[in-house]
Amino acid sequence: MKKILLIIFLIGFDSFAQDLTCKDFKEGAFVVPADSITKISYEIIRKGNTQKEIVSDPEFKQVSFGKIKWITDCSYKTNYDTTKMKLTKYQEFINKNGGVLVEMIKIKGKCFYFKSMLKIGDKTERIDGKLCKKEH
């Protein structure tokens, strides 16, 4: 009987565990898993208003650095950091167009689902994805 009560307690405790909020994604180590749009998964390490993106696919390795400007707890704008890296033409293009606006749509489990938007003249390009907290 004690064993059954312990199991019920643990299940109940787990279901009342603190849910993640947007603030939980401001700092730490995360992974953007590969999907139909993002063909290669990559890691993001955030601290303060900076982030480091690490792609470690065997066929494609890249490290890039970004600056984050938080608009709200659930949205931010990011640009590539020219003081920490030489930018590619694509990265220069993103910076020249004001960077990428990211808005968190929902949080499910340890992941937040987002939409990222790049304004190019009168048009806006949008890519949806998710970012998940890494297991320690």
Report the distance separating Cα 6 and Cα 128, nearest Å. Answer: 41
Domains in the chain, CATH or no CATH each: 20-133 (2.40.128.20)
Residue of 129, 134, 105 whose CA lies nearest to 31: 134
Residue of 63, 55, 68 whose CA lies nearest to 26: 68
Is the pLDDT at 77 greater than 60? The verdict is yes
| Terminal-to-terminal C-alpha distance of the chain | 34
pLDDT of residue 13: 41
- Give tens-digit pLDDT for 94-133: 999 999 999 999 999 999 999 999 999 999 999 999 999 9
- Quote the Cα angle for 47-53-54, to 5°: 125
User: Of 31-35, 65-69, 120-124, where does mean pLDDT reach its minimum?
Assistant: 31-35
Residue 136's pLDDT band (cuts 50, 70, 90) = low
- Give tens-digit pLDDT for 9-18: 344 444 444 5
pTM: 0.80
- What value does the mean pLDDT take over residues 40-67? 91
